Amino acid sequence: MLLEQLRPTDGALPGELLTELTALYASNHEFHAISGDFPDPYDIRPEQVAAALADEFVNPGAEVLLARSEGRVVGIAITLARHPDPADPDPWIGLLMVDAGAHGQGFGRRLAEAVEERFRAAGRGAVRLAVLDNNPKGLAFWTALGYEAIDHRRDRGLGRPCSVLRKALP
């Protein structure tokens, strides 16, 4: 699996890549039904994915990382170097999603480990993320990777209840 940073060209994504990313997002309709990030989780459109990613690119310290296997996009991770709350010292994983057709093949675990390694190499001591309360599969995934719940609160964007997880990066 290869990891590459996504950078828009002249503020836009190449059409072929946007098509791949839309397919990746659309394959995860179960997650999008839980999150409510898209109006219709069974009809995710390229312009919606482009808008969602454009919102990420304007965040200072945000990175959008693509995971590729055999030339195709199998996953995406969106990270923040710093949380907007100045009292929070850790970087965050804002999203980690693997193509639903590739679930259970280890791509999610390898993508999470690659993100952790990037933070470790940058000298960061831990990483955090939030899992929506109505996403038990997500919570099971992250806790199996060694993340521990440290807080319970509402997310900053939509006020959804979630657990904040943290993992030390020795």
Phi, psi of 115 (to 5 degrees): -65, -45
- Which range (57-66, 130-139, 159-168) has the least confidence? 57-66
Tell me the domain boundaries of the chain.
2-168
Q: Which residues contact 24 (CB under 8 A, 6 or more apart)?
A: 73, 74, 75, 76, 97, 98, 99
Reply yes or no on domain 2-168 having CATH 3.40.630.30. yes
Q: Is the pLDDT of residue 164 over 90?
A: yes
* pTM summary value: 0.94
pLDDT-above-90 percentage for the chain: 84
Q: pLDDT band at residue 141, thresholds of 50, 70 and 90?
A: very high
